[in-house]
Amino acid sequence: MRQPLLLSTLSFALCQFASAQIYWPTYPTYANVFIDPAYVLAKNFSANTATAQQSIMNTALELADQGPWSVVNKTAVAPSGDIHDYLSWAPYWWPDCSQVGNKTELTPEEIWTTCPYKSQDGVFNPDFRLVNNTGDFWAVSDAIFYNALSWAINGSETFATNTARFIDVWFVNNDTRMNPNLNYGQVIRGPGKRMGAHTGILDLKCMTKVASAVLILRDSKAPGWTTELDDQLVTWTKEYIKWLESSPISLEEKAAKNNHGTFWYNQVAALKILVGDKAGAASTVSEFFKGIYLEQIVKGGEQPFEAARTRPYHYRAYNLAAMITNAQIGQFVDVPAFDLKTSAGATIKDALDFAMAQSPKDEDAAELYPVIASVAAVYGDPEGKYAAFLAKASPNYPGDPYFLWSQPLSDSGWAPPVNSNTGASNNKNEGGGSSRSSADRVHTVYFTWLSLFALLGMICFF
Ligand SMILES: *[C@@H]1O[C@H](CO)[C@@H](O)[C@H](O)[C@H]1NC(C)=O
Ligand SMILES: *[C@@H]1O[C@H](CO)[C@@H](O)[C@H](O)[C@H]1NC(C)=O
Ligand SMILES: *[C@@H]1O[C@H](CO)[C@@H](O)[C@H](O)[C@H]1NC(C)=O
Ligand SMILES: *[C@@H]1O[C@H](CO)[C@@H](O)[C@H](O)[C@H]1NC(C)=O
Ligand SMILES: *[C@@H]1O[C@H](CO)[C@@H](O)[C@H](O)[C@H]1NC(C)=O
Ligand SMILES: *[C@@H]1O[C@H](CO)[C@@H](O)[C@H](O)[C@H]1NC(C)=O
């Protein structure tokens, strides 16, 4: 009796710890971004974006060192038996082995296939990371995005050829490619047929960043970006769009009223631009703004579907990033959306103003900063309210990557640190970035606990 009690106490403590933390990379990464390639390729950047440009290049180099990435890099295979099928496990679902036989130890496979899984909103099951297609897609989408931007900024061929290589390995090459579907995204484990959940479509929300990167490579005729590779990616993307627009789980995700639905539109609209279907992209974003958007922001700016979640500060910022991305895509395909009002008469700007007025409590506040910058750039900041908020919360914000594509935005008189060639990531220990950097430290600690967790996960005491 004594040992199980100790274990469950320990496990309870760890679970509480895990619930407050979710995996976050150490480099600057954003929920979603779509950038007009013309802005980047014109290179008419204001001088005060120099540090942000350097941060982008530093991040590109850091990520390029870790690639390439592929869905075939995993030890578990989707229930289809095809290693090319993307696989991830639902992050908030935990096994309940109390009714399964009365063994004290089960192998991980036995747990995954025999114990019923139950949802605990916001309580992250860290064994989710044992199959890491999600983390790898996160990394590859950012690697593609930052390397394409760096090619545009710097003109060094390596940035372009790296981008092309990462795209080839993940999407195109026969040995390493991902099948164009998400049939096994966020699979809920347990006995019976293990299919993907609609929430798994969110795993690929950053296809929007990939689309942005491809437009930059294509429009600049970048080295390594061959017609053959472009054609093959377009073929892949058309198949994937077909899946997104017809699969029942994808359509369920599309119908979600909250950020899941918003991010679905990000993906589909951006991918239609990638395949040259601007009209399709326009009708996709219009459908969003005439559809689920209408109920997403109430009078006064609250987002009720996000506020109801366990981490409301995060979810408000998250859905804001997705709504802004839909509006940015809209701008690119001539569907002006930033001033569109919800049924309650509210705009994206109202949602931000409300979100900014809330206390983050124990949540990471940094997720809202790029959103504030985007809103300031689009709606203007005549009273300097947004710049002042950023200057206070994140004094080095003009050195962060998002500052480059959130123009015009005041730099609040910021002077780059003396050793500015290392970019903003180096400034994290001073001022605003520090919340993220202390979060990073916690994440490192968190990962050292991961193996212990995996061990505990094999013992059934829930
Ligand atoms: C470059 O950007 C500035 C604003 O930062 C603008 O006034 C100017 O017209 C732009 N130049 C060109 C050639 O687009
Ligand atoms: C992932 O797969 C790619 C392509 O096969 C390979 O080059 C890379 O080294 C793999 N990475 C890891 C961490 O196994
Ligand atoms: C379960 O445990 C009981 C008592 O400890 C034992 O008699 C029984 O055989 C066990 N059943 C199985 C299926 O292991
Ligand atoms: C998952 O993938 C990301 C990106 O490749 C990597 O940084 C992270 O360490 C991986 N996590 C695990 C648990 O392997
Ligand atoms: C481009 O980046 C490379 C690699 O970091 C660097 O050596 C080079 O000086 C940069 N070129 C310019 C024009 O910034
Ligand atoms: C990749 O697979 C496709 C379909 O099986 C085939 O048509 C193509 O020739 C293959 N490409 C290479 C380079 O092997």
Q: What is the pLDDT of residues 194-229, one digit of tens each?
A: 889 999 999 999 999 999 999 999 999 999 999 999
Write phi, then psi, for 220 (nearest 5 degrees): -100, 5
- Ligand 5 is surrounded, with C-beta below 6 A, by 57, 154, 156
Which fold does the domain 2-251+441-457 belong to in CATH?
Answer: Glycosyltransferase (1.50.10)
Q: Which bound ligand lies closest to the C-alpha atom of 102?
A: 3
pLDDT at 419: 66
Following CA atoms 407, 328, 68, 447 in sequence, which dihedral angle do they give, to the nearest 10 degrees?
Answer: 80
pLDDT at 229: 98
Nearest CA to ligand 1 atom 6: 44
Mean pLDDT, range 149-160, rounded to an integer: 98
Nearest CA to ligand 3 atom 8: 102
Q: How many residues does the chain have?
A: 462
- Is residue 46 lining ligand 1, measured as CB closer than 6 Å? yes
β-pair partners for 105: 459
User: Taking the alpha carbons of 18, 20, 22, 26 in that order, is the dihedral positive or negative?
Assistant: negative
User: How is 195-209 classified by DSSP, letter by letter?
Assistant: ---GGGGGGGTTHHH
- Is residue 44 lining ligand 1, measured as CB closer than 6 Å? yes
Residue 48 near residue 414, CB atoms below 8 Å:
yes
Mean pLDDT, range 30-37, rounded to an integer: 98
User: Taking the alpha carbons of 446, 452, 458, 460 in that order, is the dihedral positive or negative?
Assistant: negative
Q: Which bound ligand lies closest to the C-alpha atom of 25?
A: 4
Contacts of residue 101, defined as CB under 8 A and 6 or more positions apart, other chains included, come to none
Q: Which of 175-189, 282-296, 441-455 has the lowest mean pLDDT?
A: 441-455
The 10 Å CB-count burial string (b at 16+, else e) for 253-288 is bbebebbbbbbbbbbbbbbbbbbebeebbbebbbeb
* 138 CA closest ligand 4 atom index: 4
**Among 204, 217, 224, 236, residue whose Cα is nearest residue 146:** 217
Contacts of residue 155, defined as CB under 8 A and 6 or more positions apart, other chains included, come to none
Could you give the 3-state DSSP secondary structure of residue 38? helix
The 10 Å CB-count burial string (b at 16+, else e) for 2-13 is eeeeeeeeebee
- Is residue 107 lining ligand 1, measured as CB closer than 6 Å? no
Q: Which bound ligand lies closest to the C-alpha atom of 60?
A: 5
pLDDT at residue 3 above 50?
A: no
Write phi, then psi, for 216 (nearest 5 degrees): -65, -50
Nearest CA to ligand 4 atom 8: 135
Q: Which amino acid is at 87?
A: L
Distance from Cα 136 to the centre of ligand 4, integer Å: 6
pLDDT at residue 455 above 50?
A: no
Q: Hey, what are 390's tokens?
A: 């950023």
pLDDT in tens, 431-440: 223 334 333 3
Residue 208 near residue 149, CB atoms below 8 Å:
no
Distance from Cα 1 to the centre of ligand 4, integer Å: 37
Burial class (CB in 10 A: 0-12, 13-18, 19+), 341: middle
pLDDT at 110: 85
Split at pLDDT 50, 70, 90, the class of 157 is very high
Nearest CA to ligand 3 atom 6: 102
Provide the residue ranges of all domains of the chain, joining segments of one domain with +.
2-251+441-457
Residue 261 near residue 238, CB atoms below 8 Å:
no
pLDDT at 189: 92
β-pair partners for 94: 118
β-pair partners for 89: 187
Rounded to whole angstroms, how far apart are CA atoms 19 and 11?
A: 12
